[in-house]
Amino acid sequence: MKKEVKTDKAPQPIGPYSQGIIANGFVFCSGQIPIVPETNSLLTGPIEEQTRQVLKNVAAVLDAAGSSLDDVVKTTVFLQDMNDFAAMNKVYGEAFKTPFPARAAVQAARLPRDVKVEIEVVALVK
């Protein structure tokens, strides 16, 4: 059985996908980009600012699912430019505690709305 996760505290889906899906004790969160949900505006600043907004959006979806950043077991980070990895990683490291989630980080040829970073996560649901 699966259950859709919806919150107005994260960007609304713009296509045929859910913000998240709860299944078998996990929440699978769709990739988040740096959209400010209150204004539906795209944050286009430096990678650090974009990463903070992305993680805020991820946290909002997790909260709506009954989970949190502390419950994340796996992340995938998509970067427009791998040269931004160190700056993104610094902000990322502030958001997660040990034991850190398993992670993959890749450079993508192009991300939605030409953002610098997109992050998707899988987390435990309490």
∠ at Cα 89 (84, 90), nearest 5°? 110
Is 126 a residue whose pLDDT tops 90?
no
CA–CA distance, 41 with 114 (Å, rounded to integer):
13
The predicted model scores a pTM of 0.97
Provide the pLDDT for residue 72.
98
Instruction: Kindly state which CATH superfamily the domain 2-124 is placed in.
Output: RutC-like (3.30.1330.40)
Residue 55 CB contacts under 8 Å (≥ 6 apart), including other chains:
69, 91, 92, 95, 119
Instruction: Kindly list the domain boundaries of the chain, sorted by start residue.
Output: 2-124
**What is the pLDDT confidence band of residue 73, given thresholds at 50, 70 and 90?**
very high
Summarised one tens digit per residue, pLDDT across range 93-122 is 999 999 999 999 999 999 999 999 999 999
Region 43-67: what's the mean pLDDT? 98
Query: What is the per-residue pLDDT across 49-58, written as a single tens digit (0 to 9) for each?
Result: 999 999 999 9
